[in-house]
Structure 1
Amino acid sequence: MEKGYLLLETGDVFEGILFGNNKETIGEVVFNTSMTGYQEIISDPSYTGQIITFCYPMIGNYGINHKDFESVKLNLSGVIVGEMCEHPSHYLQEKTLHDELAEAGVTGLHSIDTRTLVKLIRKQGTLKGTITTSLPEDKSIENYVKAATKQITKTPVADVSTKKLKTYEGDGHHVVLMDFGYKKSILNALLEAKCKVTVVPHNYTYEEVKALNPDGILLSNGPGDPLQLSSSLSEIKKIIEAYPTLGVCLGHQLIALAYGASTEKLTFGHRGGNHPVKELHTGKVWMTAQNHGYVVVENSIDKGQFNITYRNVNDGTLEGLEHKTLPIQSVQFHPEAHPGPTDTDHIFQKFMKQLKGVGEKHYAVT
């Protein structure tokens, strides 16, 4: 076992045991409160450039299998756990968490006080950090981390988005899935609804989408600050005004930005499987899976064009929008995850109904 260290920009140091790739890594240190689903979490492209701290004390106890990945490769920067299970047990298990991270080139750190680390992040906000094999001798921790983390990727969406079209056949409506870093479970939800799905790069233009003759659009989740995609907002607005649209997570933020709203960074984000969200027109509270560090600023929304549909029960932040005249809806959480286990399923059902009512292949762009 080799010692490793998590160094934070605050100057704090956490000592633990390296696992996985065992090499130095850098990233934004965040935490996830989920009790299960670690395989889906580490393979979610929304964690690109981030080091995930798991709050649940033991991670890896049911191993890794080939079915539950959310992307074809791991894009995160690192993993931090309190206790890492070395001898998992599950009938689908094919390898250990350590083996998966080692093969994927991802560094992990275990046997640290994750409770203290999470409390620090909650107090200070999301922090940049590095996992190293030794402590720096010639400079302060703060300066060392500052210098190292200058290399954090500035184009995470471009790094994870598909570079070419891929079509999945189906007997139902044709949905173009704009890939900002989509989770496989979103694609699976559309395929289970019998949709034909064409996955396209994040920077596809209106004319390129129109040439595919879709019935609807889904703007996916993805990593990073939504303002990094400001140059695409005019094309996104043309696309979503032309077709029934569902935006999820980053897709929700991009819809709001396209209509002149603003976004802001949360202190430590929403990442977990038990976030309560209130549906405003019914008063129902749904349990949701979330993974985001940015939110839409509520008072920046044009209330003449959009209704606010969902609000986070814990902190009151905006969690959903619906256009008043066009078939455009968006949610900040992940409706395909429905941790209830059927909570928020109705959002996809509503989207399917909008597809059935398209009539003409596309609406006039205004």
Structure 2
Amino acid sequence: MKRGTLILEDGSKFDGFTFGASTNTAGEVVCHTGMVGYVESLTDPSYCGQILVLTFPLIGNYGVPDDKTIDDFGILRWVESNKIYASALIVSAYTEDYSHWNAIESLSSWLKKHNVPGLYGIDTRTIAKNFVEDGTMLGKIVMEGTDPKMISFHDQNRIDLMTLVSIRNPRVFNPTGKISIVCIDCGLKNNQLRILCQLNAKVTIVPWNHPVKQDEFDGLFLSSGPGDPQIQCSDTIVTIKSWINSETIKPIFGIGLGHQLMALAVGMKIMKLKYGRRVHNQL
């Protein structure tokens, strides 16, 4: 059984056992307090470049579904994107024995296919409590036998995240929909797209920096996504401003990063919260 260590930039070390891929990695460490949803979280582009810490104590018990299954709209049904975007997974207790009607493999084997490492046997609640006092920080996972000095801390905000998560070319879903929505993809989740299609919208997904003509659509949707939009999404903000300043007023709406982009487009300021806390719903 191979061991590995999570090392935080403040010098804290958490030793554990490996599952998934046996590879070193680094990223921003964030905590997720949900009881379920590790498949959805790992494939959420918003976690691109982040080391995901799950505080729920038992992970892996319902396995992983087929990540190639599509729904009636041609959208991947059980995952939020076509790959794992998180850099690594940290859990307290991992079980290889899974039981679920929809599962086809274990979490460990799925992580290994995507070359994503995991550590278990870690006191994840201590990590979460430390973040409450000290805030989010960078971390790295170092496999047993590797010199920690050889692995550098890595801030995902210093790379071009939009190029990693955004669609490359425009694509249309539900072409017979009654209303036409253009979605600027800054890290779109499949379920956001699915809901729009279920509401009988024709959805045109475009890259984050794609120019969008207002007269071609009934509304503009801004997806969720990773990183700091002040650094990453200047072209998107220009597009939003053009819609806001147009003589023809059409709906603009967004989720997560999309909200931040709307705020920036109307001249507001945004700031990153101190705590890297993620959960399914927040009030």
TM-score scaled to structure 2, two decimals? 0.89
Of 241, 258, 278, the match for 1:271: 278
In 2, Cα distance between equivalents of 1:95 and 1:102? 11
Which structure has the higher relative contact order (CA within 8 Å, separation 6+)? Answer: 2
RMSD: 1.9
Return the TM-score normalized by structure 1: 0.69
Give the C-alpha shift of residue 269 in structure 1: 3.6
Is the partner of 1:273 in helix, strand or coil? Answer: coil
SS in structure 2 opposite 1:29? Answer: strand
Matched, 1:166 2:138: no
Structure showing greater radius of gyration is 1
* Paired AA for residue 201 in structure 1: P
Q: Does 1:249 align with 2:256?
A: yes
Partner residue of 2:225?
A: 222
How far apart are 1:132 and its partner, in Å? 0.7
The answer to whether the aligner puts 1:204 opposite 2:210 as a matched pair is: yes
- More displaced stretch, 102-111 vs 117-126: 117-126
Q: Matches of 1:251 and 1:170 in 2, distance apart?
A: 26
Q: Aligned equivalents of 1:85 and 1:37: distance in 2?
A: 15
Write the letter of the residue equivalent to 2:168.
Answer: K
State the Cα distance separating 1:116 from its structure 2 match. 1.1
Q: Which runs of 5+ in 2 are unaligned?
A: 67-76
- Can you list the C-alpha shifts for 1:90-132, whole angstroms capped at 9, x where unaligned? 0001111101110011111111111111111221111101001
Calculate percent identity across the aligned residue pairs.
Answer: 38
Q: Distance in 2 between matches of 1:241 and 1:69?
A: 37
Deviating beyond 6 angstroms after TM superposition, the runs of 4 or more aligned structure 1 residues are: none
- The amino acid of 1:216's aligned partner reads G
Shift of residue 231, structure 1, vs aligned partner: 2.5
SS in 1 for 2:84: coil
Aligned to 2:18: 18
Letter in 1 for 2:219: G
Could you tell me which amino acid in structure 2 is paired with residue 272 of structure 1? V
- 1:149 maps to what in 2? 154
Report whether the alignment pairs 1:133 with 2:162.
no
Report if the CA contact (8 A) 1:178-1:219 is conserved.
yes
Indicate if the aligned counterparts of 2:142 and 2:148 stay in contact, CA closer than 8 A: no
1:135–1:264 CA distance, 2 compared to 1 (3 A): farther
Would the alpha carbon gap of residues 91 and 156 (structure 1) be closer, same or farther in structure 2, given more than 3 Å must change? same
Deviation by residue 1:190-239 (Cα, 9 ceiling, x = unmatched): 01001111110000124xx347x111110000000111135322222113
State whether residues 9 and 153 of structure 2, in contact with CA within 8 Å, keep that contact through their aligned partners in structure 1.
no
Distance 2:227 2:147 in 1: 32
Give me the whole-angstrom Cα distance separating, in 1, the residues matched to 2:176 and 2:214. Answer: 19
Amino acid at match of 1:224: G
Equivalent position of 1:119 in the other structure: 129
Distance 1:44 1:155 in 2: 17
Distance, in Å, in 2 between the alignment partners of 1:148 and 1:81 is 20
Paired residues in the alignment total 268
Deviations 1:34-82 (A, max 9, x none): 0111111111000001000001001111111133200011111110000
**One-letter amino acid matched to 1:194:** N
Cα distance in 2 for partners of 1:101, 1:21 equals: 6
Indicate whether 1:183 and 2:186 are aligned.
no
Query: 1:79 corresponds to which residue?
Result: 89
Q: What CA distance in whole angstroms lies between the structure 1 residues aligned with 2:148 and 2:86?
A: 29
